[in-house]
Amino acid sequence: MDAHTEVSLDATHPLDPLTLAEIARAVALLKAGKALSETHRFPMVRLEEPAKAELKAWRAGAALPRLAFVLTLDAATGVASEAVVDLSAGRVADFKVLPNDQLPYGQPPIMIEEFIRAEEIVKADPGWRAAVLKRGITEADIPLVQIDPFSSGYFGRDFEKGRRIVRAVSYWREDIRDNGYAHPIEGVVAVVDLIANKVVHLVDEEKIVPVPRKKRNYGREAFPDTREDVKPLNIVQPKGPSFTVDGWKVEWQNWSFRIGFTPREGLVLHELGITDGGRLRPVIFRASVTEMVVPYADPTANHYWKSAFDAGEYGLGRLANQLELGCDCLGLIHYFDVPAADDLGQPFVMKNAICMHEEDYGTLWKHYEFRNGIYETRRSRRLVISFFATVGNYDYGFYWYLYQDGTIQLEAKLTGIIQTAAVTPGETYPWGGMVDEGLGGPTHQHFFNARLHMDVDGGGNTVTEHEFVPRPWGDDNPYGNVFDSRSRVLKRELDSPALANGETGRFWKVSNQNVANSVGKAPGYKVVVMPTPVMLAQEGSTVAQRGGFAKKHIWVTAFDKGEKYASGDYPNVNAGGGGLPAYVQQNRPIENADVVLWHSFGHTHVCKPEDFPIMPVEYAGFLLKPNGFFSANIAMDLPPEKNAHSRENREAEDGEKRHSGGSCCH
C-alpha cells in the first residue's frame, strides 16, 4: 500500500523544490537573457535556497524572491557558467562564466548524454580497438563490450589540465544481460575529451592479462532454483500511518521537518525540529550528504586514478532510483515525486524518488520491578526517509531515521557490484582480495560527508569535544575506579578538525549556551560517531589533496552561504586544495555562532568472494542524540502495546490458569 506526494504546480513555501513550471521558466529566461545556443547543456538546475535570516524576515512579512540556480555547459566549447535566475522578477539576477579551463578549477559534473557519447567515441577509436583485439576480443564482440566512463581524477598531465575528460575502462560481455564486471579487460584505459569528442590518450600495457570468461550473472534467470521456505511477511497499519504530509512538510511523533531534494545531494531535510512542552524547538536547519569519495588502493593502470566523487562528479540526486514498493520500501509507504531537469534543461518527474514509512525498532524502554510487580515496556518506532542512487557499479541508499525519544540517525547502505581486476592464471592479486578464479577486487574506501547546519534551540550554537580519561591513583581515587570526562570548547575553525577515538569514547556536543535546561545547563545534542579509518592515501597524493575532507571525522565552520560542499563546488578534474581544508583556514570564530558541523564517515572494503556478484549491504553512519535537550525521557508517554501478548492479557490468562489449576510457561 502506498501514497504519493505528486509534483505540485505551485510552490507554497520558500524551501519547496522548484516546480516543473519553475524549472522550465528558469531555463527559458536564461536562454533568452544570455542568448544560449543549442549546444548548451544544463548539468544542474535547483532552488537557490534562502538562508536562516531571510526566512525569518519572510515570516515577519518581508518579500522573498524565488530564485533558481542554473549551471550551464556549452558542449561545443567547454565553457561553463553559473546563473541565478529571479523567477519572481522574471530576469537573470546574476551570471558568471567559470574559469573551468584554468587550474585548480574543476569541471561541472558528468552528464548522462556524455556517458553515452564516451562509449561511442571509445569504440570508434582505432587504438582502443587494436588494444582489445590483442586481448582476445573479436570484432564481433565489440558491440557488446561494456564501456565504463569514469571520472578521471587529476595528476597534472597536459591532457588533464583544464580539459573535460573521463577515463574509460572496458568489460567483455557475450550477452547484453551478462555481468560485465566478471570480465574486465585489463591494461587498457582510454582517456576521452568530451569537448573534442576523441580519445586523447590511450594506455595499452605490454603485459597481456587474459580476460576472465567465467560468467557471474545476477539476473533472476541466473538463479532459477530459489528458496521455498521464505514465508510472507506483511506489514499492516489498519488505521493508517502516524505521520501527516502537507506538500513537502512532514509531522510525526512531535517531529516536524520539510523535505528537499537537489541534483547533487539528493535528499535534504530542512528545519528539523521537535515539539516539547507545546513549543516547536529547532534542532537542525539543514541536513544533507554533500559529497562522497571512493579511492582505490591498486597502483596499476586500470585503477590507480579511480577516486569517484559521486556527488560532485556525477550527482546523487540526478542518479536517484525510482523506488519500488515491497523491494526498496516495505509497509505503508508515502512516496515523493521530485521535479528535475534533464541535460537539455527540460523538466521531468522523478517518480517515487523519496520513500517514507514507519518501522518497528524493537524495545525503546523497559523495566520489571519484582518488588511491586510493575512491568512496563514500550516498543520503539522510527520514521524512515530515504532514497537510493546508482552510480555506475555501486548502489547507495541514504536513510534518515527519526526516533520517538528525540534521536536522529543517518545510515548509508552500500551495495551493488565491486570494481574488478583481471588476474593472470596462477598469479595472486596483491592489491585486494580474490573473488573468483582470475578475478580480483581492489581494496578501496568509501567516504561520505554529512553537512549539518545546526540550529539547536535557535540562536548561536557552540560545539564542544568530550572524552573519557582514567583518574590517577590518589586520595581522590583510592580504589582506582574513578574516571573523568574532559572537554574543550571549539572556539575557532582550526580548533575543529578531529578524529574519533574509540579508546577514549570521544564525542562532540552542539549546545545553545544562551539557554538553560531543567538542571541549569545548556541544552544540546550529542554527535555519536564511529572511529572508523579515515582516508589512508598518503598526504600529498592527488586523491588526498582533492578529498581532504575525508582525512578527519569532524569539521566545524561558521556558516557561509557559498560553502555548500565538503569537496568544494567542482571536484571533477580538479587539482585539489578546496573544500573543507580550505574553509577552515579562514579560522573564523565558531563559539556561540551560526555553525555548520560536517561529519566524514565511511567503510574500508577488502573484497572477498562473498561480495560477488552482488555485494550484500554494508552499513555506515552516525547518531545525534539529545543531551540535556529535554527535561526527561520524552518517550514516557507512549501508550502500551495492545495485542494478544500484552501484560493485561497475560495477567488475565494467568488468573484463569490459576483458577483452573493449570500452568503457563513463557
Closest CA to 429 of 444, 446, 443: 443
CA angle (276, 278, 280) in 5-degree steps: 60
Name the grid cell of 506. Answer: 570521544
DSSP state of 310: I
**Enclosing H/E stretch for 275:** strand 266-276
Q: Which three cell numbers stand for residue 206?
A: 605490454
The answer to whether residues 448 and 601 touch, using CB atoms and an 8 Å cutoff, is: yes
- Phi first, then psi: give them for residue 318, nearest 5 degrees: -65, -25
- Cβ(261)–Cβ(338) under 8 Å? yes
Helices H, strands E: what count in the chain?
Answer: 7, 31
- Quote the strand ranges of 443-569, DSSP E: 444-454, 462-470, 483-489, 507-511, 524-528, 554-558
Catalytic residue among 296, 394, 399, 570: 394
- Is residue 72 a contact partner of residue 65, using CB atoms and an 8 Å limit? no
Residue 298 annotated in active site: no
Distance CA 342, CA 340 (A): 7
Q: How far does CA 648 lie from the centroid of its chain?
A: 44
Active-site residue, selected from the candidate residues 298, 310, 455, 611: 310
Which residue carries 589533496 as its cell?
Answer: 545
β-bridge partners, 287: 269, 452
Identify whether 310 is a catalytic site residue.
yes
d(CA 142, CA 154): 29
Which CA distances in Å does 237 have to 232, 332, 357, 359, 385? Answer: 16, 7, 11, 11, 18
Please check whether residue 207 is in contact with residue 197, taking contact to mean a CB–CB distance below 8 angstroms.
no
Q: Locate 422 and state its grid cell.
A: 583481471
* Catalytic sites, residue numbers: 310, 394
